[in-house]
Amino acid sequence: MRRLKGTVCCDQAFQAMLLALYTFGQFIRPADDPSNDGFRAPNDPVFSTADAAVGLVARSGYASDPGPLPWGAEVYPRFYDERGDGWSPATLSLWTDIEALFAFTYSGLHADAVRRGREWFRQGDWPPLVMWWHAETARRPTWAEGVERYEFLHDHGPSPFGFTFRDAFDHHGERKTLDRSRITQLRAAAT
């Protein structure tokens, strides 16, 4: 048996497809500008909350930071505008399912950060995130794979190759409606 963030599952269930998530944002001002302090201050607590979230399987670290190892070379989508600060907020992670990811994304500290996003991040025509079902349990998705699917979502719209919460797909490639009652249960359990 393996334990996934407080839940026990059998090895067969662990071998099921996992939901991969890549997120990307660009600061309005350079990364070290004091206007971004409100983003940086809760960053470590948000990561701690994510690490304890029901449904998180693993997340990539960053080559420049202590913590989990990065899943390949860190790259950014073509929308990234290098302004001399050398980085932009991005994440890459694996989740058990879309409802668990939704419950984490729109609850607690992370939801507070999402609500304040317009204070820190440029608004563009690029999506804030992309999700896809990752079938290769022997390896983690890479940053380059996340960027490829992110750009594909931008260029071609939602599909099983890359989608959003609004236009989700299940692991069979069929349109999916989120289970709102499960999201409610997950949120209640997290508080």
Q: What does the pLDDT look like over 26-49, one tens digit per residue?
A: 999 988 899 999 998 888 898 899
Q: What is the mean pLDDT of residues 137-144?
A: 91
Instruction: Answer yes or no: is pLDDT of 111 > 90.
Output: no
What is the H or E stretch that residue 142 is in? Answer: none
Q: How far apart are CA 190 and CA 167, in angstroms?
A: 25
* Model pLDDT, residue 113: 86
pLDDT over 70 at 150, yes or no: yes
Q: Measured between alpha carbons, how far is 8 from 4 in angstroms, rounded to an integer?
A: 6
pTM over 0.85: yes
Does the structure show a pLDDT above 90 at 172?
yes
Read out DSSP for 41-104?
TTHHHHHHHHHHSTTEEEE---TTSSSSPPSS-----TT----SS----EEEEEES-HHHHHHH
> Is residue 177 over pLDDT 70?
yes
Q: pLDDT for 67-86, tens place per residue?
A: 899 999 999 999 998 877 77
More confident residue, 66 or 5: 66
Q: Which residue has the tokens 């699917």?
A: 149
